[in-house]
Amino acid sequence: MKRITVLGAGLVGKAIASDLSENFEVTSVDRNEEHLEILKSANPEINIVVSDVGVEKNLRSVIADADIVVGCLPGFMGYCSDLVIIDENKPLVDISFFPEDLFGLDAHAKKNNVTAIVDCGVAPGMGNIILGYHRERMKVQSYKCVVGGLPVVREWPLEYKAVFSPIDVIEEYIRPARYVENSKLVTREALSDPELIFFDGVGTLEAWNSDGLRSLIQTMPDIPDMIEKTMRYPGTIEYLRVLRECGFFSYDPVDINGAQVRPIDITAKLLFPKWQLKPGEKDMTVMRITIEGNENGVNKRYTYDLYDEMQDNVISMARTTGYTCCAAVNILAGEMYSESGVCPPEFLGKNEANFNFIMNYLKERNVIYHCNIEEILP
């Protein structure tokens, strides 16, 4: 039985460890003992290790016996951790969504003959997988992904709940957004170009530019139009812009009674309690992927819609992100993909067997992408 070490036991990390424990020997690592004890009480078969893997020697120690490592750490830790994991010659699947260029890991991974599947969550992640599949089978002209993780019940003042690192959430509001228009790379500020999009059963949501294309900008240079947008309840953009322009998301320290404090740390500290899901409170994931192009001489539009809610006490964002990651781990474990180097999710999607495996893996866990196919008339 292969041994999987999962770094991070937050809400998503716990869901991943629990799911993988059905078929593998799993060790969950976190510096928060309480998180690990909660996981262990529900899954006695999982090994737990209390350790701060931000310390390099600790990280090397906890992954020493692993066959595959899964990274569920905050974004600011992801890149450096992956470098160490690759240095230890361990295959990995990562969902940390770190700000650095993921292909900066490529040469090191190839040198060490390591497969590093990076950005393998819901978005980035599933959008890449689906686009990778269709690009192999049609001449894609445009790709658009809109996605949002939201509480089912809107609650003033923020109408939002976060299920992972608060600083990683704030990054979506400040990191410049890149997209491709008419085969040219465009960079706009986050929260730009708002639009309203209606979804059956949900209502109208507000979408804005976010930096979710990631690897697609480099791996899909032949697609002339590509964009990814984040969605929230209407009205969110305005108050986020106010907070951003007033400096609440700044990383630059300010002097407060002689102490140097980063505003973003204070903001995260204040917001996170309001962002936390209350016991029994449900979240949802709404996603729409639209791909247009020419397939065998016919212009077609593929539209994938996802609506998912918390189920069996597993939050939706953990389900949609975590189970995609788990599918990739199973692909590695089953040696269904073995190319060394950085593997963004679109590389997995190219192969029909892997694409079908991932879609079926998710469907078995009731994460279902409904696909509608239309012929585009001249």
CATH for 284? 3.30.360.10
Do residues 167 and 118 share a domain?
no
Do residues 98 and 211 share a domain?
no
- CA atoms 97, 67, 316, 136: torsion sign: positive
Question: Within 10 A of 78 (CB to CB), how many other CB atoms are there?
Answer: 25
Domain boundary among 263, 288, 309: 309
CA distance 92 to 59: 14
Do residues 42 and 91 share a domain?
yes
CATH code of the domain covering residue 349: 3.40.50.720
Look at strands 341-343 and 115-118 and give their pairing: parallel
Q: Considering the domain boundaries, does residue 177 fall inside one?
A: yes
Question: Within 10 A of 32 (CB to CB), how many other CB atoms are there?
Answer: 13
* Half-sphere CA count of 254, side-chain side, radius 13 A: 11
Which domain covers residue 217, as residue numbers? Answer: 126-309
Do residues 305 and 323 share a domain?
no
CA distance 204 to 198: 4
Query: Apex CA 360: angle with CA 11 and CA 316, to 5°?
Result: 25
pTM metric for this prediction: 0.94
* Half-sphere CA count of 108, side-chain side, radius 13 A: 17
Q: Average pLDDT of 147-168?
A: 85
Model confidence at 162, pLDDT cuts 50, 70, 90, reads: confident
Do residues 288 and 302 share a domain?
yes
Query: Apex CA 370: angle with CA 364 and CA 376, to 5°?
Result: 150
More confident residue, 78 or 280: 78
Do residues 155 and 283 share a domain?
yes
Task: Give per-residue pLDDT as tens, 197-209.
Answer: 999 999 999 999 9
8 A C-beta contact, residue 233 and residue 160: yes
Do residues 184 and 237 share a domain?
yes
CA distance 358 to 339: 18
Q: Considering the domain boundaries, does residue 73 fall inside one?
A: yes
Do residues 38 and 88 share a domain?
yes
Do residues 109 and 145 share a domain?
no
Do residues 150 and 106 share a domain?
no
Do residues 48 and 108 share a domain?
yes
pLDDT at 148 > cutoff 90: yes
Q: Which secondary-structure segment (H or E) carries 361?
A: helix 352-364
pLDDT at 271 > cutoff 90: no
Model confidence at 29, pLDDT cuts 50, 70, 90, reads: very high
Q: Average pLDDT of 99-109?
A: 96
Q: Considering the domain boundaries, does residue 17 fall inside one?
A: yes
pLDDT at 66 > cutoff 90: yes
Do residues 147 and 285 share a domain?
yes
Task: Give per-residue pLDDT as tens, 232-249.
Answer: 999 999 999 999 999 999
Say how many domains are in the chain: 2
8 A C-beta contact, residue 51 and residue 76: no
